[in-house]
Amino acid sequence: MQYNKIIKNDITYHLINTNRFKSINLVLFFTKEFDKDDIVFGNFLTNNMVYSSKKYNTKNKIASIGEDLYGTKISSSFGINGKCETISFSLDFINPKYTEDKYMDLSLDFLYEVLLNPNVENDEFNHEFFEIVKNDAIANYQSIKDNPNLFASIEYAKIMYKDTPSENCSIPSIEEINRVTPKNLYEYYKHLFDGTYNIDICILGEVDTSIIDKIHKVFKVFKSNNKKLEFTIKKDFENKVTEKIDSLSFNQSKLYIGYKLDPMSFHEFNHVLRVYNTILGTMNDSILFNIVREANSLCYSIGSYVSRYNPSLTIYAGINKKNYDKTIELIKSCVESMKDKEVLNRLFDSAKKMINTVLNNYYDDAASQLNRYYSEQFVPLEDVEVTRKEIEKVTIDEVIAINDKIHLNTIYMLKGDNN
pLDDT of residue 419: 62
Q: Check: CATH 3.40.50.150 for 242-416?
A: no
CA proximity to 401, closest of 301, 286, 271, 281: 271
pLDDT of residue 129: 92
pLDDT of residue 40: 97
DSSP letter (8 states) at residue 69: T
Q: Check: CATH 3.30.830.10 for 2-219?
A: yes
Tens of pLDDT along the chain (419 residues) come to: 899 999 999 999 999 999 999 999 999 999 999 999 999 999 999 999 998 999 999 889 999 999 999 999 999 999 999 999 999 999 999 999 899 889 999 999 999 999 999 999 999 999 999 999 999 999 999 999 999 999 999 999 999 999 999 999 999 999 999 999 999 999 999 999 999 999 999 999 999 889 999 999 988 888 999 899 999 999 888 889 999 999 998 889 999 999 999 999 999 999 999 999 999 999 999 999 999 999 999 999 999 999 999 999 999 999 999 999 999 999 999 999 999 999 999 999 999 999 999 999 999 999 999 999 999 999 999 999 999 999 999 999 999 999 999 999 999 999 987 76
CA proximity to 328, closest of 360, 299, 363: 299
Cα separation of the two ends of the chain = 53
β-strands 84-94, 23-33 pairing: antiparallel
3-class SS at 108?
helix
pLDDT of residue 416: 87
User: Do the beta carbons of residue 85 and residue 78 sit within 8 Å?
Assistant: yes
Indicate where the chain has its CATH 3.30.830.10 domain(s). Answer: 2-219, 242-416
The phi and psi torsions of 83 (rounded to 5 degrees) equal: -80, -5
